[in-house]
Amino acid sequence: MLNQWMYIGIFFIIAMFLPAVAIFLARILSPKKPTKIKNSVYECGMETYNPTWIQFKIQYYLYGLVFLIFDVEIVFLFPFAVAYGKLALFAVVEAIIFILILLGGYLYVWRKDALTWQ
């Protein structure tokens, strides 16, 4: 078990290392002639004004919230799915009721038009 996580760890380091080295090499090889205009932010060709890190549309936040609810639900259901072979029908029905409760919330969100892109 630990060996398998070790492999993942090694792979993670290598997966970060390979692109980092490639970018570093390219940085060394590539020409460097920065000018003021070249380094300016490319938006629409106009001068940028005001800070960039501003508040954006609330819709994204709503999608993020709904996603979070679903993801937590799914994480709760994974142990259920793994133990499925050992469960009786009663436990399965319980899990289905759990999903149905969440489905109620989902329908509420749907009716409130939080899932419609505006």
Partner 1 sequence: MKILEFLSDPIIGIEKWIVQLLENWGVAPEWQTFILYLIGAAILGTGALLFTLILIWAERKIIGRLQDRLGPNRIGPWGIFQPIADMLKIFIKEHIIPDGVDPIPYHLAPIISVASVLLLWSVVPFSDSVRGSNLNVALLFILGVGGLGELGVILAGWGSNNKFSMLAAFRASAQMISYEVPMAIVLLAIVILSGSMALGDIVKLQTIAYIFFLPLGAFIFFVASIAENGRAPFDLAEAESELVAGFNVEYSGLKFGMFYVADFLRAFTSAVIFSSIFLGGWRGPGAEQIPILGFVYLLIKTVIVWFLGVWIRGSLPRYRVDQMMAITWKFLTPLALALFIVIAFVAKLIENTNQWLQVLIFLVINVALFVVGFAIVRKFEKEKERKVVSTKKRALAQPTNPFTQSETGG
Site for partner 1, residues 29 to 88, rule: CB under 8 A: 29-34, 38-44, 48, 52-54, 56-57, 59-60, 63-64, 66-67, 70-71, 74-75, 77-78, 81-82, 84-85, 87
> Nearest approach, Cβ of 74 to partner 1 (angstroms)?
5
If you write DSSP's letter for every residue of the chain in order, what string do you get? -HHHHHHHHHHHHHHHHHHHHHHHHHHHHS-----TTTTS--SSSSPP-S-SS----THHHHHHHHHHHHHHHHHHHHHHHHTGGG--HHHHHHHHHHHHHHHHHHHHHHHTTTTS--
| Closer of 59 and 108 to partner 1 (Cβ) | 59
| Binding-site size, partner 1 (CB under 8 A) | 71
